[in-house]
Amino acid sequence: MTGAAGQGFEPATGDGPAAPDAGRAAELRTAYEGLVQIRRLVNGPAGEAVPAPWELRRPSRAVALVLEASGITPSAADAEGRPTRTGYLVAAGPEPGRVEVTWTGPKGGGAAEEEQERLTACAAALERMGWVCLLYRGPRRRRFLEVEPPR
């Protein structure tokens, strides 16, 4: 799964600048197809229904890849970390192997009003790929997903 200039493809986690569009769709498709193929090869009878071992070692990257490949918009941030686009934000969870997904955006951009609907869509995409998602309400009553591999 390598991208331009031999660099590995990095799925959008939503914590940096918006990724350039040139060639990204093809790289994303190749990376996602690679994920599915790896699952088929290493998961035995479970096949593509559950995360592969590499996904368990890098769950934030795996979750971000599934979300981006599902067509869900990642958030973006400027150099100071301020949100510039509304979308998902993937971050390490409170325990190893867990990931948190929030719906964030620029101040006054409406992210809070759409977070339940959009996080539900994120959960559906992740659950189709074998991840377990729980929707919680956190500080300031904002919702977030906690994502983990199946037990």
Q: What is the pLDDT of residues 102-127, one digit of tens each?
A: 999 999 999 999 999 999 999 999 99
Q: What is the pLDDT of residue 20?
A: 78
Whole-number Å distance between alpha carbons of 16 and 134: 25
- Positive or negative: CA dihedral 100, 106, 109, 112: positive
Instruction: Give backbone dihedrals phi and psi of 122, rounded to 5 degrees, phi first.
Output: -60, -45
pTM, two decimal places = 0.92
Whether 74 contacts 13, CB under 8 Å: yes
Chain segment 19-61, per-residue pLDDT in tens: 778 889 999 999 999 999 999 999 999 999 999 999 999 999 9
Whole-number Å distance between alpha carbons of 30 and 9: 9
* Confidence band for 1, pLDDT divided at 50, 70 and 90: very low
Whole-number Å distance between alpha carbons of 129 and 63: 9
